[in-house]
C-alpha cells in the first residue's frame, strides 16, 4: 500500500468531487468547508458547487440567459452584458449559504475550492469569518488575492 494523501489533498479531492454536480454550462467549480485541520476535528461540514438557486431551472437546462446567449453566438466567453445575466451562485457562495440555511457557524472554518475565489466570493468568505482558503486552480484576478491578504485570510495552493 502506498502513501496516503495529506488531509489537504483529501479535502481538495472532495471539492473536485463536488464540482461534478455543477450545473453551469461554462465552469465546474466545487467547494467544501471543513471544521479544522487539527487531529480530531477534520470534518467536512458542507459541500457546494456552482449552480442556480434551489428549485430553479439549471443553467445547463436552459436556465441561464448568459449561457444561452453564448451558445447562440450573441456573447463571447469572458464578455459581460447586462442583458444576459446569470442567476447561478458560485461554489464558494453556495457552500456558505448552505451552512447559513442549516444554522452552522462558518466563523474560523477552512474552505477548499477547486478554483481561486473571485472578488465577490472573497468578500463573502471574509464576511463569513473563514480563516483559510485552499485552492487548486489559479484565477487571473490579483484583486481578490490582495483582498484576502488584506484581511489576514491565508491562501494555499494544493496540487493533486
C-alpha distances out from residue 33 to 23, 69, 72, 125, Å:
20, 33, 37, 11
Long-range CB pairs of 57-66, under 8 A, 24+ apart, other chains included: 58/23, 59/23, 59/24, 59/25, 59/26, 59/86, 59/87, 59/88, 60/23, 60/24, 60/25, 61/23, 63/87, 64/24, 64/25, 64/88, 66/26
To the question of whether residue 90 is assigned a binding role by annotation, the answer is yes
Task: Determine which one of 3, 38, 79, 92 is catalytic.
Answer: 92
Catalytic, 92? Answer: yes
To the question of whether residue 58 is assigned a binding role by annotation, the answer is no
To the question of whether residue 86 is assigned a binding role by annotation, the answer is no
Nearest to 112 by CA among 1, 23, 39, 18: 18
Catalytic residue annotation? 92
Per the annotation, binding residues are: 90, 118, 121
Per the annotation, binding residues for Zn(2+) are: 90, 118, 121
Amino acid at each position: 500500500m502506498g502513501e496516503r494523501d495529506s488531509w489537504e489533498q483529501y479535502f481538495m479531492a472532495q471539492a473536485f468531487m463536488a464540482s461534478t454536480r455543477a450545473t453551469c454550462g461554462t465552469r465546474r467549480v466545487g467547494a467544501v468547508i471543513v471544521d479544522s485541520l487539527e487531529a480530531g476535528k477534520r470534518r467536512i461540514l458542507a459541500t457546494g458547487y456552482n449552480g442556480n438557486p434551489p428549485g430553479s431551472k439549471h443553467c445547463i437546462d436552459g436556465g441561464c440567459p448568459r449561457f444561452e446567449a453564448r451558445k447562440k453566438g450573441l456573447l463571447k466567453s469572458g464578455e459581460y452584458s447586462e442583458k444576459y445575466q446569470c442567476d447561478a451562485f458560485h461554489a464558494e457562495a453556495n457552500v456558505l449559504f448552505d451552512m447559513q440555511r442549516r444554522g452552522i457557524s462558518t466563523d474560523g472554518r477552512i474552505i477548499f475550492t477547486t478554483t481561486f475565489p473571485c472578488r465577490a466570493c472573497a468578500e463573502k468568505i471574509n464576511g463569513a469569518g473563514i480563516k483559510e482558503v485552499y485552492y487548486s486552480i489559479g484565477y487571473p484576478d490579483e484583486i481578490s488575492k490582495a483582498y484576502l491578504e488584506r484581511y489576514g485570510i491565508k491562501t494555499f495552493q494544493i496540487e493533486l
